[in-house]
């Protein structure tokens, strides 16, 4: 069977799609690059917040236009796991619904599927991290995600992920290292560690949080150049983790810490463990150990009960802390979460205005931080040949898709995955330009 997979959402979803593709290919199916070629179209959806749900639903209907009488349309992922009954009733165009725990069973499901029937296959989460030995990588996998855990034990008041993905399950260190070695052998230079909470790694398998020990092992793998940490919780950033980050050259001086707010009153309402004092102290520890570290964070505006004073505290914090990388979400009222039933829900317009105010403030901060790079030389990972001797890439301070890019010129014939030294010649709000040196 020829299969096309369309993926939406976060890097964890794209990792799932690569696993699903590998499982299907191993079973004898053929992965194709467009829905027109496919016998089966699978949409791997996101169901985290309203905007993501809307995008997923629109994409399902887009793919349904290719279906005709001969193709099978399948929906998998978080949206399917979360709304299986509603989607089954309201989307007769879809033949198969799969959850986030059913990719290993795909070959058996397809083998038993009878055309013309509609089926749901949604399993509860497994008690242990389920290893899948097959993964379909890009042709030139110079950057790749590495999932080190699944699920989440944090019960943030606004979040549905524990309901969708289940409890936290760490992956065994030997399995993580084995996959990392395979990725390096296949040309991977940048390894991006992902989980719902990377800093919680090991809490269920080992005696405590063992992310620092895992990082030391990954840094010993030949071929890897950059190791990047995403989805870190502030209260679990230990002195040992900071020491490992500072000492190991392969670990990018970059960390993604979704802080969500700075007001203690709002953090408590969100059921976050962090406090304003703890957040400021952790940022100080990171910057003291690694003066060049780039911290990425995200905030939520308009959480139920967020007062004008709470918001002003957040705005002042953004201005004084000067995060190099920052994103903001307007609070999304998600059914099934404690926050959805809280009093003092904030008007949508107010949420959006507060979101915009922070992003406008961040625009100036980002430009200022970029201008500090003028005249300096950075290692850049080439991602795209833009023609005419011009290329686009990223520094170690930038995660793919979400952070800055560097557009530069070179007299050489470069290809994606090459790493070159670039002198920065101009700076903009969210991008840099330069020339290879």
Binding residues for [4Fe-4S] cluster: 10, 46, 78, 152, 156, 159
Distance CA 254, CA 239 (A): 16
Rounded (to 5) percent helix, strand, coil in the chain: 35, 25, 40
Q: Is 253 exposed, middle or buried (0-12, 13-18, 19+ CB in 10 A)?
A: middle
The most distant pair of C-alpha atoms in the chain lies apart, rounded to whole Å, by: 63
Q: How far is CA 118 from CA 47, 189, 332, 409, in A?
A: 21, 43, 31, 53
Please give the annotated binding residues, written as ranges: 10, 46, 78, 152, 156, 159
Q: How far is CA 7 from CA 24, 90, 121, 135, 339, in A?
A: 15, 21, 19, 15, 28
- Token digits of residue 258: 């979704």
Q: How far is CA 427 from CA 159, 359, 376, 387, in A?
A: 36, 18, 11, 21
User: For residue 393, how many other CB atoms are within 10 A of its CB?
Assistant: 24
CB contact set of 222 (below 8 Å; sequence gap of 6+) = 184
Cα-Cα-Cα-Cα torsion 344, 348, 351, 354, nearest 10 degrees, comes to: -130
| Strand 226-229 to 190-194 pairing | parallel
Q: Rg for the chain (alpha carbons), in Å? A: 22
CB burial readout 5-18, b (16+ within 10 A) else e: bbbbbbbbbbbbbb
């Amino acid at each position: 069977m020829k299969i096309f997979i369309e993926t939406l959402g976060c890097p964890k979803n794209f990792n799932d799609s690569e696993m699903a593709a590998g499982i299907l290919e191993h079973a004898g199916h053929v992965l194709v690059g467009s829905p027109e070629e496919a016998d089966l179209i699978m949409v791997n959806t996101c169901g985290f917040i309203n905007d993501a749900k809307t995008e997923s639903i629109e994409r399902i209907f887009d793919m349904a236009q290719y279906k005709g009488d001969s193709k099978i349309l399948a929906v998998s992922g978080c949206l399917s796991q979360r709304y299986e009954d509603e989607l089954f009733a309201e989307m007769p165009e879809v033949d198969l619904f799969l959850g986030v725990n059913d990719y290993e069973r795909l070959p058996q499901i397809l083998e038993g599927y009878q055309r013309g029937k509609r089926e749901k296959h949604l399993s509860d989460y497994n008690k242990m991290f389920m290893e899948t030995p097959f993964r379909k990588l890009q042709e030139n996998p110079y950057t790749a995600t590495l999932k080190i855990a699944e699920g989440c034990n944090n019960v943030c008041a606004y979040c549905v992920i524990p309901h969708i993905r289940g409890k936290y399950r760490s992956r065994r260190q030997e399995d993580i290292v084995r996959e990392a070695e395979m990725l390096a052998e296949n040309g991977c230079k940048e390894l991006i560690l992902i989980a719902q909470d990377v800093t919680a790694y090991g809490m269920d398998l080992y005696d405590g949080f063992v992310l620092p020990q895992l990082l030391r092992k990954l840094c010993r793998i030949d071929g890897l150049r950059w190791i990047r940490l995403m989805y870190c919780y502030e209260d679990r950033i230990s002195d040992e983790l900071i020491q490992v980050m500072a000492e190991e050259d392969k670990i990018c001086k970059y960390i993604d810490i979704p802080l969500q707010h700075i007001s203690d009153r709002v953090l408590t309402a969100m059921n976050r463990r962090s406090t304003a004092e703890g957040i400021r102290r952790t940022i100080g520890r990171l910057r003291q150990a690694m003066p060049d570290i780039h911290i990425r964070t995200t905030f939520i505006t308009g959480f139920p009960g967020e007062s004008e004073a709470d918001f002003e505290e957040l705005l002042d914090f953004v201005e004084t802390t000067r995060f190099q990388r920052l994103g903001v979400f307007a609070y999304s009222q998600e059914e099934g979460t404690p926050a959805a039933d809280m009093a003092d829900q904030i008007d949508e317009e107010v949420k959006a205005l507060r979101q915009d105010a922070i992003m406008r403030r961040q625009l100036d901060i980002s430009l200022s931080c970029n201008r500090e790079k003028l005249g300096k030389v950075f290692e850049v990972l080439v991602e795209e040949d833009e023609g005419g001797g011009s290329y686009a890439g990223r520094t170690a301070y930038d995660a793919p898709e979400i952070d800055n890019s560097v557009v530069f010129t070179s007299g050489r014939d470069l290809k994606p995955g090459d790493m070159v030294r670039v002198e920065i010649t101009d700076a903009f709000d969210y991008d840099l330009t330069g020339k290879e040196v």
